[in-house]
Amino acid sequence: MTQSLGEVGPGEVGPAVEEEDLDEVLILEQQPVLLQLPIWEPTGDPEVDGALADMSALDAADLSEHAPVFDQVYRRLHGRLSGLSSSTP
């Protein structure tokens, strides 16, 4: 029997894994590094790249600092997209 991750809630322990099911278990740490993609790549647009850099810096930030950064990034990207739509004929 295999159970998806979506069936186990936070703080719950999933079902025991039977020995015959071990060949179905995928552990991401064992995957080749070549399969890992960067979180983001530069776009060439300074405003977008700055917003993406702010987002990637959240990995090291305390969770309480995330909301203000999300708000700032949203405003930067929204402003950039609004600028694009107003300059299009």
Contacts of 15 (CB under 8 A, 6+ apart): 1, 3
Q: Are 54 and 80 members of one domain?
A: yes
Residue 37 belongs to a domain = no
50 and 26 fall within a common domain: no
C-alpha–C-alpha distance, residues 37 and 27, integer Å: 17
Does residue 50 fall inside a structural domain?
yes
Say what the pLDDT of residue 86 is.
72
Q: Is the pLDDT of residue 64 over 70?
A: yes
Q: Mind listing the pLDDT tens digit for each residue in 41-57? A: 889 999 999 999 998 88
Q: Residue 66 falls within a domain, yes or no?
A: yes
Model pLDDT, residue 1? 45
Q: Dump pLDDT digits (tens) for 13-33.
A: 666 655 555 566 556 665 555
Contacts 24+ apart (CB under 8 A), 46-49: 47/76, 47/77, 47/79, 47/80, 48/77, 48/80
Q: What is the number of domains present in the chain?
A: 2
Q: Is residue 64 part of a domain?
A: yes
d(CA 33, CA 68): 33
65 pLDDT above the threshold of 80: yes
State the residue range of the domain holding 23: 5-31
pLDDT at 28: 60
